């Protein structure tokens, strides 16, 4: 018999959409993918060359369980260059992607029944990680008119004896919104450990991202290479943690994962030190797509009160058309051949919304919006015009 934990975990609905789209594509249907948060760009050449060079040099064996020191030093240098924050390389753990990093982090942070505060909406997998290690997610509703950002005064009443941490994600998935520094400081000043997912740092088009380490050292940072450097398949992430966490995390990593892939770690060094021009080019194109998709979604009757300025997502209010985002998203996929993610994947407060990813070419986004317009015209607009 499988465990209740494993059988009861909800599906990651964006993957259900993508997998349904793939089955349609196998039948010859053409699908525009605006559901998945994966860069459509190829990994920068300097990164690929560094990996090939590492393989040829025989860097294909186990590494130190914390990660090769050269990569940890490069990560520390990067945080100082970006934020003027000093990070000790010995407080960095390199992992095979941010998902293992998150699992290890929650294993080291939470005992049975202890709580972590999360925004609602949230990235779909966060509460599942918490529950899998027998912790308890506690949700704070955040609202469209605030750009789905925490109101720190709403967090304070939920802090109790079982609260271990407050979770921050900026720029955020699914909203694409950026937490302003004054709110980050106010959250840090609540006196609890902060867990900060910074995976979308580097993909900000207006304003500036801030690491939580600018405001408190009582913080655990999750970051990686997948989004900014178009390295999703490389599986390379890391944690920056206070000194007391590093040895327990190292032992967990030794037992469950041993080390991240050796040659991928050397490719990560090249990403940090050599790929700035590639990132700038990708950011410029993402920004063009962002502006276009926001304009078109508004023209199509979707609500976007606060324009997203980071990552590559728009969480659009679809309540003009539906309060059942799951059914709506799959109907759009079936009839319009456009993949998008139902808001319910990201929590009860995102019901009635759809998440659109602009990690696709401007040509495909243009076609996707045209297909969506035709779908709405046939299924909703004609009905709305009837007396």
Look up the pTM and report it.
Answer: 0.93
Residues of the chain predicted below pLDDT 50: 387
- DSSP three-state, residue 310: strand
In terms of Cβ atoms closer than 10 Å to its own Cβ (0-12, 13-18, 19+), residue 292 is middle
Using CA atoms in the order 98, 208, 116, 164, what is the torsion angle rounded to 10 degrees? 100
Q: 45-275 adopts what CATH topology?
A: 3.40.640
pLDDT digits (tens, 9 = 90+) for 330-339: 999 999 999 9
| Predicted local distance difference test score (pLDDT) of residue 87 | 97
Q: What residue segments make up the domains of the chain, in order of their start?
A: 4-42+277-385, 45-275
When the candidates are 3.30.390.50, 3.90.1150.10, 2.60.40.10, 3.20.20.70, the CATH number that belongs to 4-42+277-385 is 3.90.1150.10
The token duo for 252 is 């967990």
| Predicted local distance difference test score (pLDDT) of residue 47 | 98
Bridge partners for 120 per DSSP: 141
Alpha carbon distances (Å) from 225 to 296, 336, 377: 30, 33, 40
| Predicted local distance difference test score (pLDDT) of residue 385 | 58
Are 95 and 237 in contact by the 8 Å Cβ rule? The answer is yes
| Predicted local distance difference test score (pLDDT) of residue 290 | 98
Alpha carbon distances (Å) from 187 to 167, 191, 193, 291: 10, 8, 10, 30
| Predicted local distance difference test score (pLDDT) of residue 387 | 47
| Predicted local distance difference test score (pLDDT) of residue 384 | 61
Residues 6+ apart with CB under 8 A from 28: none
Are 224 and 98 in contact by the 8 Å Cβ rule? The answer is yes
| Predicted local distance difference test score (pLDDT) of residue 103 | 96
In terms of Cβ atoms closer than 10 Å to its own Cβ (0-12, 13-18, 19+), residue 243 is exposed
Bridge partners for 32 per DSSP: 338
Strand order in the sheet with 341-342: 313-317, 353-357, 341-342
CA distance 46 to 232: 16
Are 222 and 237 in contact by the 8 Å Cβ rule? The answer is yes
Are 207 and 176 in contact by the 8 Å Cβ rule? The answer is no
pLDDT digits (tens, 9 = 90+) for 111-127: 999 999 999 999 999 99
CA distance 190 to 162: 15
CA distance 110 to 106: 6
| Predicted local distance difference test score (pLDDT) of residue 260 | 97
């Amino acid at each position: 018999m499988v465990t209740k934990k494993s059988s009861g975990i909800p599906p990651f609905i964006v993957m259900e959409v993508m997998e349904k789209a793939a089955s349609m594509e196998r039948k010859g249907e053409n699908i525009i993918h605006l559901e998945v948060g994966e860069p459509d760009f190829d990994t920068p050449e300097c990164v690929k060359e560094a990996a090939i060079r590492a393989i040829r040099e025989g860097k294909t064996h186990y590494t130190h369980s914390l990660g090769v020191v050269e990569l940890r030093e490069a990560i520390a240098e990067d945080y100082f260059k970006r934020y003027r924050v000093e990070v000790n390389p010995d407080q960095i753990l390199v992992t095979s992607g941010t998902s293992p990093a998150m699992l290890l982090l929650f294993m080291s942070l939470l005992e049975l029944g202890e709580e972590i505060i999360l925004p609602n909406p949230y990235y779909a997998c966060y509460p599942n990680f918490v529950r899998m290690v027998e912790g308890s997610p506690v949700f704070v509703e955040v609202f469209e008119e605030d750009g789905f950002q925490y109101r720190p005064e709403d967090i304070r009443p939920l802090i109790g004896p079982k609260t271990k941490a407050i979770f921050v994600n900026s720029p955020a998935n699914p909203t694409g919104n950026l937490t302003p520094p004054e709110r980050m400081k106010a959250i840090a000043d609540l006196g609890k450990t902060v867990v900060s997912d910074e995976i979308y740092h580097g993909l900000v088009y207006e304003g500036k991202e801030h690491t939580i380490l600018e405001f408190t050292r009582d913080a655990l940072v999750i970051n990686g290479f997948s989004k900014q450097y178009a390295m999703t398949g490389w599986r390379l992430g890391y944690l920056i943690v206070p000194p007391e966490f590093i040895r327990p995390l190292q032992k967990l990593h030794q037992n469950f994962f041993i080390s991240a892939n050796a040659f991928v770690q050397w490719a990560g060094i090249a990403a940090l030190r050599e790929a700035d021009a590639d990132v700038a080019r990708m950011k410029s194109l993402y920004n063009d797509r962002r502006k276009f998709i926001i304009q078109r979604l508004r023209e199509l009757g979707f609500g976007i009160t606060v324009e997203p300025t980071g990552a590559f997502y728009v969480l659009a209010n679809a309540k003009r058309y539906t309060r059942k985002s799951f059914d709506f998203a799959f109907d759009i996929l079936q009839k319009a051949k456009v993949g998008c993610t139902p808001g319910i994947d990201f929590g009860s407060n995102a019901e009635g919304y759809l998440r659109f990813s602009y990690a696709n070419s401007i040509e495909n986004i243009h076609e996707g919006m045209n297909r969506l317009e035709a779908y709405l015209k046939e299924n909703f607009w004609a009905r709305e015009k009837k007396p």
